[in-house]
């Protein structure tokens, strides 16, 4: 089986052509590192599938997975659109000089101020989640004398095979207009009658880290069925993202091209059955673009051996820089940076430094012999690590480094203690 990492002739882990130990010497740990070439390859892989299908499309990076100025700059270079979910992500796109016409805005409770920011900066498409929001958009667009492009997010009643906390397409969800109750059709009729908005089409997102193509096919088919029932010929059908990636050997993801091809084929087949025009197909991959490209580097510290139970190997990061294991019981693979292929001599639980018993990065990992000061690399941490990071226990958030063609550049500076306390105000 091909290893999901690269080594140099000396057997050391390399990222983007630079050894992990060199990166640690320059930037310290904990450290988020991205191989930019892998990000570009993933983006181009999606584009190539659509180009081969010869249909109209948009590949929109779901930036909640990893939102930084540098990431948005790479997306612009590769011709990828952005999907944002907050005023902060909109502001980051503006800071990156990203073309705002290529941005879509998702979310179930967009504020008035966030919508003002979006409309005042020419944001391309707002994905409407509820009637309250539709009314705000109409009011704001009318006041500005513009017609705002929108998609309607609907919950198609499709449940993905994933963790229950990251299922979003089923009927019982905080997201989108419910179809079964008639709520979605009511919103559709209101949007069509509103001169301040231009309803481009419909949107659905069935969940995250999904390996089963059937769920995406079912959602695509359901979306076409729904718009046909309404008598609506959409210009756009957006099937969201959620394509699964490899975290450990237990994961067996299909190529992302298989998912996209299946979605395209299903929409083509269903629209042909109904004698409808083929709409543009939009997708929103996030994790599948940045997840495999990211590696988190840590320095090993203390160890605790509990006879007959397990051994804990502690590192200088943890749930503050990767909360997914604590939140979702997610698992990762860790390797020794200096010699990933060395024979394993121990099985440990990789724990963090935070004051929580659930602060775990890897639940069970076979490793070579280690000692304090060694560099441990946790693989495939490019999605939802930095973006969900916190200052819990008042620990600084690590730096982010991009590496490409043997050149490393810090694109987000490491927080300092001064950064953490600079918004504090004295009470006495």
Q: Which residues are catalytic?
A: 355
Instruction: Return the residue matching tokens 């979006």.
Output: 118
Q: Residue 92 contacts by C-beta under 8 Å, 6 or more apart in sequence?
A: 63, 67, 68, 69, 72
Show the CA angle centred on residue 395, arms to residues 391 and 400, nearest 5°: 80
Through-space distance between the first and last CA atoms of the chain, rounded to whole angstroms:
62
Q: What is the total residue count of the chain?
A: 428
Instruction: Return the residue matching tokens 């999901």.
Output: 4
Q: Cα torsion for 279, 281, 282, 285, to the nearest 10°?
A: 170
Which token pair is 74?
A: 């790479």
Closest CA to 262 of 200, 224, 204, 219: 219
Q: Helix, strand, coil shares of the chain as percentages rounded to 5?
A: 35, 25, 40
Q: Residue 64 contacts by C-beta under 8 Å, 6 or more apart in sequence?
A: 83, 84, 85, 89, 286, 384, 387
CA dist., res. 296 & res. 328, Å (int): 18
Q: Residue 2 contacts by C-beta under 8 Å, 6 or more apart in sequence?
A: none
């Amino acid at each position: 089986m091909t290893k999901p990492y690269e080594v140099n002739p000396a057997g050391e882990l390399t990222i983007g052509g630079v050894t992990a130990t060199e990166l640690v010497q320059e930037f310290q740990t904990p450290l988020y590192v991205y191989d930019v070439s892998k990000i570009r390859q993933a983006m181009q892989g999606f584009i190539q599938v659509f180009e081969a299908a010869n249909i109209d499309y948009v590949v929109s990076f779901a930036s909640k997975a990893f939102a930084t100025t540098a990431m948005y700059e790479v997306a612009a270079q590769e011709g990828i659109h952005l999907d944002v979910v907050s005023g902060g992500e909109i502001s980051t796109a503006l800071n990156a000089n990203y073309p705002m016409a290529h941005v879509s805005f998702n979310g179930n409770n967009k504020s008035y101020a966030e919508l003002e920011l979006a409309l005042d900066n020419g944001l391309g498409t707002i994905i409407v989640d509820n009637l309250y929001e539709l009314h705000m958009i109409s009011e704001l667009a009318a006041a500005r004398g513009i017609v705002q492009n929108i998609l309607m997010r609907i919950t198609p009643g499709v449940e993905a095979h994933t963790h229950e906390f990251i299922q979003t397409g089923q009927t019982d969800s905080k997201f989108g207009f419910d179809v079964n109750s008639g709520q979605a059709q009511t919103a559709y009729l209101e949007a069509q009658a509103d001169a301040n908005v231009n309803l481009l089409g419909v949107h659905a997102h069935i969940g995250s880290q999904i390996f089963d193509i059937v769920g995406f096919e079912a959602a695509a088919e359901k979306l076409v069925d729904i718009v046909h029932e309404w008598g609506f010929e959409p210009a756009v059908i957006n099937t969201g993202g959620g394509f699964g990636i490899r975290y450990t050997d237990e994961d067996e993801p299909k190529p992302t091209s298989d998912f996209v091809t299946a979605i395209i084929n299903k929409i083509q087949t269903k629209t042909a059955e109904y004698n409808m025009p083929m709409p543009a197909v939009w997708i929103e991959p996030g994790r599948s673009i940045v997840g495999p490209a990211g590696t988190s580097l840590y320095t090993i510290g203390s160890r605790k051996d509990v006879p007959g139970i397990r051994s804990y190997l502690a590192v200088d990061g943890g749930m503050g820089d990767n909360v997914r294991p604590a939140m979702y019981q997610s698992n990762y693979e860790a390797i020794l940076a200096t010699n990933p292929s060395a024979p394993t001599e121990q099985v440990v639980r990789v724990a963090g430094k935070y004051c929580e018993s659930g602060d775990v990065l890897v639940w069970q990992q076979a490793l070579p012999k280690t000692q304090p000061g060694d560099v441990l690399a946790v693989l495939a941490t490019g999605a939802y690590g930095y973006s969900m990071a916190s200052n819990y226990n008042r620990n600084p958030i690590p730096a982010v480094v991009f590496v490409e063609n043997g050149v490393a550049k810090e694109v987000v500076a490491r927080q300092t203690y001064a950064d953490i306390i600079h918004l504090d105000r004295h009470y006495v």
